[in-house]
Amino acid sequence: MSSGLKRYIVGVVAASAIAIVVTTLVIPVDRQIGVGFEIFGTWAPIVGVFFWCVIALVASALPVRMPRGTMVGVSIAPIIAATALGGPVAGGWVAAIGTTEMRELRGRIPWYGTLANHAGLILPALAAGWRRTLAH
């Protein structure tokens, strides 16, 4: 691996880790993501985030094959839904957890590739959520 690629991976992963920690500490999860889970009381938003993580995991397990053979992941839809309902924290955590694939768990992708792939989804989800939060 080239030193430029190493720097890129370290930079993206570090930026994503810092961004999700800061966002989690600064902005609460919007209670709107917990609609339908009111029986869990104050835990409803967390249950809502967990629900969207499960939906994203299912979507990650079912990529769509395009006509020329390209595989396209459709886990972006649950990430956007979670971000729209719960704000940047919800979208960031769904992007971090919900995009895990079986080939990552089986070790077919190097650990640094897994980190880079997840970090590359966390930043846009957080940015979209921050935009949503600032617009309100």
Model confidence at 1, in pLDDT bands (50, 70, 90)? confident
User: What DSSP state is assigned to residue 36?
Assistant: T
* CA gap 78, 125 in Å, rounded: 11
Look at residue 50 in the predicted model and tell me its pLDDT.
96
Q: What percent of the chain has pLDDT over 90?
A: 59
pLDDT for 117 beyond 80: yes
Model confidence at 136, in pLDDT bands (50, 70, 90)? low
∠ CA 124-56-42 to the nearest 5 degrees? 90
Q: Average pLDDT of 14-36? A: 93
45-75 confidence digits (pLDDT tens): 999 999 999 999 999 888 889 999 888 888 8
Q: Which amino acid is at 53?
A: C
Model confidence at 38, in pLDDT bands (50, 70, 90)? confident
pTM of the full predicted structure?
Answer: 0.88
Look at residue 72 in the predicted model and tell me its pLDDT.
85
Look at residue 35 in the predicted model and tell me its pLDDT.
85
